[in-house]
Amino acid sequence: MNKLNISIIGVPMDLGQNRRGVDMGPSAIRYAGAVERLQNIGHSVNDLGDIAIGGRELSQNTKLRNLEEVVAANTLLANRVHDIIGEGNFPIVLGGDHSIAIGTLAGLADSYDNLGVIWYDAHADLNTAETSPSGNIHGMPLAVSIGLGHEELLNIRDFSPKIKPENVVIIGARSVDPGERELIREKGIKVFSMHEIDKLGMSEVMDQTIQYFQDRKVDGVHLSLDLDGLDPLYTPGVGTPVTGGITYRESHLAMEMLYASNMITSAEFVEVNPILDEKNKTADVAVGLMGSLLGESLI
């Protein structure tokens, strides 16, 4: 296997939503042995610590909660990710709520001509201030990244959009808002919902995903993995659990197939909430999936 120089960044952010605790996600993932797991595979790992996160705003914009603080944190993250790519290293971002994907993708996008994105998630995260039922920015990062949303979010690193909607594959969707469904149809975003996973099987879903990116001639693929993509039976410590999700074994198979494809160039693992967890079970799953994605094998 290829030995990578991996740089880990923690983003202890809980400002993209209302439920506290997900800011402790990076610490929980580290405690579950992320660095050691990757080193044991044979990779060189440099843990760069955490991005500094500001406090919550006092007067909340209910359409875009904690907007300025989310912009500030994602700007710091974007610049750090951009530097990691410039050094030729493989970035892994630990969250934190899924709003941090705004910064991750902003930091990646100008280093690729045709970046692909796998959105492994129960949710589409394609809301805007106009369609969001909550005003929580963790439900908006994919919309922002394809160029839809508030200008302060769009203009991180001074360009937009960050990715093409036709270069996105959503896997595991089972909770999609009406405005998101309309946008998926309008933009032609490829989605493998739980219906497709149940009908086709995870192996076929991943084969089709890999072939889709090959046909699109992408020059890199970012994996944005929300732990609520899995069924809460396996990952109870997430902020917005949705029953009927992807199984533990299906998720490992997906990661193993992505590793074999040799197309993943960056990754993030988000929405681990230790307050809601059981003995750090969700963080343990995150670390296990990280291992499968990066070449861990039984034999």
Residues serving a catalytic function are 98, 121, 123, 125, 138, 226, 228, 271
DSSP states of 180-216 as a string? HHHHHHHHT-EEEEHHHHHHH-HHHHHHHHHHHHHHH
CA distances 137 to 140, 185, 274, Å, are 5, 22, 21
Contact 202, 292 (CB under 8 A): no
Contact 292, 259 (CB under 8 A): yes
Contact 174, 245 (CB under 8 A): yes
Q: 246 is written with which tokens? A: 């992807």
Contacts of 32 (CB under 8 A, 6+ apart): 280, 283, 284, 286, 287
DSSP category for residue 229: G
CA distances 122 to 33, 80, 87, 231, 278, Å, are 25, 28, 33, 9, 20
Residue 128 φ/ψ region, left for φ over 0, alpha for ψ in the -120 to 50 degree band, beta for the rest: beta
User: Radius of gyration over alpha carbons of the chain, in Å?
Assistant: 17
